[in-house]
Amino acid sequence: MQEPVNFHHHVGVIADIAGTELTASDREFLLQPEIAGLILFSRNYESPAQLKQLTQSIHDLRSDLLICVDQEGGRVQRFRQGFTRLPAMLSLEVVYRKDTSQALGLAEDLGWLMALELIEQGVHLSFAPVLDIERDCSRVIGDRAFGHDANAVAELAGAFIAGMQSLQMAAVGKHFPGHGAVEADSHLDLPVDERTLEQIQYDIQPFARLMAQHKLAGVMPAHVLYPSVDDTTTAGFSEVWLQQILRQQLAFSGVIFSDDLSMAGAAAAGSYSERSDKAIAAGCNALLACNHRDAAVEVVAAVRQARQKNPQLTALDLSSLIPPAIEIDDNCQQRRVQIQQRINDLLN
């Protein structure tokens, strides 16, 4: 990857497509300069060969577009048939408690394998790892988390990132400052975390430690309201969280990816244009607009208007996060098989 970029005043959109290949409408939409990336879902996937063809067509259209997916493992793995089924990350905690070194080695292997299989098919980035701390109450986090305490999450996620970074895949920590202490699912509701900032600081620890180690290229804030810190809006629309705490106190200069602006947790911010304006004002760089093309069109228009009104806002270029292509040699294949066996042993 290229030298780190300071993303403070860059803004753009990450959108999606409906099918398994680009349509004429998709091509026209993706050629807009406000589009900085594309996120893929299960509906966009049939097989590794089809995925490779799709990503190649995207690259041929615009080589600067960052192609993303949620490929965490467990419940959240968009590409399954033809890919290794990755375990839920919480399964590593059991190993960690028995043998820390073994767990960290396995976490690194899983990060490497996830990155390998995506880059092999032309996908550049997985929105991972989840840095939320599991408290056995959240309906959306659960076994997506690496553990029940900050140290375990930071260590296991750090090892997972090390595996990703060995293939130059960037890591995006989510969901800042922590989604694990509320029951509600922000895809469906507006979660409210009533804890004090002092209590929430514990959840911030994995983010802070991995930022200090220069392991996070991106951060995704939660669509969660933390009224003791900012009672006006959720973290993803909050200047307090994104400017004062994330940018200033934690000195994070990487990409702030909004969580999907179509989620119920974002709806309180208003229309898609209003959500976009508030996310930009708060400091988000990459605005995710998923599963609703009309909404994405509105978000793109809002970004265009924001840049016209504020000359300080510049186009978001995420090409520095695109990893180089890799050649799958015998050593890669052998390591892949060994890790797949370790996964089988872990799950059985």
Tens digit of each residue's pLDDT (9 = 90 or more) over 266-289 = 777 789 999 999 999 999 999 999
Query: Which residue is catalytic, options 16, 26, 259, 260?
Result: 259
CA distance 184 to 190: 7
Q: SS3 of 318, please? A: coil
Contacts of 105 (CB under 8 A, 6+ apart): 159
Average pLDDT score, the chain: 94
Token pair of 228 as six digits = 């003791």
> Please, what are the domains in the chain?
10-269+296-347 (3.20.20.300)
143 as an active site residue: the answer is: no
Instruction: Write down the pTM of the prediction.
Output: 0.95
Tens digit of each residue's pLDDT (9 = 90 or more) over 150-159 = 999 999 999 9
CA distance 93 to 100: 9
Confidence band, pLDDT 50/70/90 cuts, at residue 189: confident
148 as an active site residue: the answer is: no
Tens digit of each residue's pLDDT (9 = 90 or more) over 83-101 = 999 999 999 999 999 999 9
Q: Are 194 and 227 in contact (CB under 8 A)?
A: yes
CA distance 210 to 194: 25
324 half-sphere exposure, CB direction, 13 A CA radius: 8
| Rounded average pLDDT over 238-262 | 95
Helix 272-282 with 293-309: angle, nearest 10 deg:
50
Residue 2 pLDDT exceeds 50? no
Q: 259-288 b/e with 16+ CB inside 10 Å = b?
A: bbbbbebbeebeebbebbbbbbebbbbbbb
Query: Which residue is catalytic, options 8, 148, 187, 292?
Result: 187
Q: What is the pLDDT of residue 201?
A: 97
Structure-token match 């793995």, residue found:
77
Confidence band, pLDDT 50/70/90 cuts, at residue 265: low
Tens digit of each residue's pLDDT (9 = 90 or more) over 285-323 = 999 999 989 999 999 999 999 999 999 999 999 999 999
Tens digit of each residue's pLDDT (9 = 90 or more) over 38-87 = 999 999 999 999 999 999 999 999 999 999 999 999 999 999 999 999 99
| Rounded average pLDDT over 178-191 | 84
Q: Are 278 and 237 in contact (CB under 8 A)?
A: yes
Look at residues 130, 206, 170, 178 and name the one whose alpha carbon lies nearest to residue 318: 170
Q: Are 179 and 141 in contact (CB under 8 A)?
A: yes
Strand partners, 12: 286
Residue 107 pLDDT exceeds 60? yes
Q: 94-110 b/e with 16+ CB inside 10 Å = b?
A: ebbeeeeeebbebbbbb
